[in-house]
Amino acid sequence: MTRLQYRGSLGVFVTSDNLNPILQVTTWLLLAVTFLLLGFRLLTRLVLKANRKFGIEEVFIILAFILGAGQSATVLAPQARIFAKDWSLVTAKELIAGLKAQYAGDLLFIFSACFAKLSVCASFLALSVDEKHRFVTYGIGSVVIAWSISSIFGLSFRCGTYGTWHGDKTKCINELVFLKYVSIGNLVTDSLLILLPAWVVCPINMPLRQRAAIMLFFSARIMVVIAVIVELVFLPRLFRQAAPREVLPYYIAVQAAQSGSVSTACITYFWPFMRSLRSGLFWQTKSTFTTKNTLATLSRGPTESSWIKTDERKDSRVTSGEQDEIRVKESVTSERVDREDERITSIEAHNY
């Protein structure tokens, strides 16, 4: 057995000419983290919302994860070992196979990002009944769909009916410019999804500290924005004979953006976030609220009990029997709130 064969039996070594193992390890790690966060989100939904079916936002996020896992598979496949590897060590056959894997990965990336963003939009629609909120959310969703369709169409036919692996670049559009468009569109839509919660959450009738905590969890999507910015910075190096260490950050940034798009849509389901919404944002029931849209109930202004007290003061003709009936209703409501608090406390004890 030669020395070279012996080393090969131990695995692939990271060298200055081949940094692909770092990319593969990073991809496996991000994929595992995304899987755990998705499982946490679905488990939280099952435990805390046992009386409600999965919504369209859960369908979207599951599709996003499946497509994102497919994109990661195109990086982990043997054909993708040309990425972050010195071109002098890549044969023509390996180059063609690697470009085919990259072609599939680019399309899966757009599909995954699209469904992850639509999942966030669907979650916002379930929170607010305000027409302005819903109109803006639908608008952002439309922008996401338009960006996704144009990106998929452009990436699919960037070289006409030929693939990028045929080598005849005269039939291709300017790939660098188009990939910049895709990344900038991804950056803009993610930025909008960060700004939207600030507008939706502000009217909620809860202390400033709790609203800030909610915004902090929704703002986790800024990690995706940072990854896309890094992707844009290193993108031009992909189109020149750059050293592996110069293009490795681009490939890692793509994986981080793809994983982060799904993960940040699940981070808001962490238990501290759920506790900060105990006032009703996720704990609403038919017995406590008359509408399924939470912000319609939690918006600033007089509560139902304050309206009752105001009516009692204004209408002196209320009989004693009607007043007793009102007190009974308030007592029943108080008992239900106490039972809900006990249930939350038991769940907290179980989780901690």
Going by C-alpha positions, the residue among 325, 209, 347, 200 that lies closest to residue 276 is 209
- Residue 308: pLDDT band with limits 50, 70, 90: very low
Residue with the larger pLDDT of the pair 234 and 1: 234
Tokens 């996020």 correspond to 61
pLDDT of residue 262: 93
Give the residue ranges of DSSP H helices in the chain.
3-10, 20-48, 56-76, 92-125, 131-156, 175-201, 208-218, 222-234, 244-267, 271-276, 294-298, 304-314, 320-351
Say which CATH topology domain 15-276 has. Rhopdopsin 7-helix transmembrane proteins (1.20.1070)
Going by C-alpha positions, the residue among 38, 30, 124, 41 that lies closest to residue 73 is 30
pLDDT of residue 342: 52
* pTM, 2 dp: 0.73
Indicate whether 305 pLDDT > 80: no
pLDDT of residue 92: 84
Specify whether the CB–CB gap between 75 and 251 falls below 8 A.
Answer: yes
Model pLDDT for residues 89-109, shown as the tens digit of each residue: 888 888 888 888 999 999 999
Query: At 85, phi and psi to the nearest 5?
Result: -130, 145
- For residue 5, the number of C-alpha atoms closer than 13 Å in the C-beta half-sphere is 2
- Residue 311: pLDDT band with limits 50, 70, 90: very low
Indicate whether 3 pLDDT > 50: no
Indicate whether 136 pLDDT > 80: yes
Structure tokens belonging to residue 62: 């599951």
Tokens 């009217």 correspond to 203
Model pLDDT for residues 14-55, shown as the tens digit of each residue: 777 788 889 999 999 999 999 999 998 888 777 765 556 677
Q: Computed over its alpha carbons, how large is the radius of gyration of the chain?
A: 26
Domain locations along the chain: 15-276, 302-351
Whole-angstrom distance, CA of residue 172 vs CA of residue 161: 10
Indicate whether 239 pLDDT > 50: yes
Tokens 């950050």 correspond to 249
Residues of the chain with pLDDT > 90, as a percent, come to: 32
pLDDT of residue 49: 58
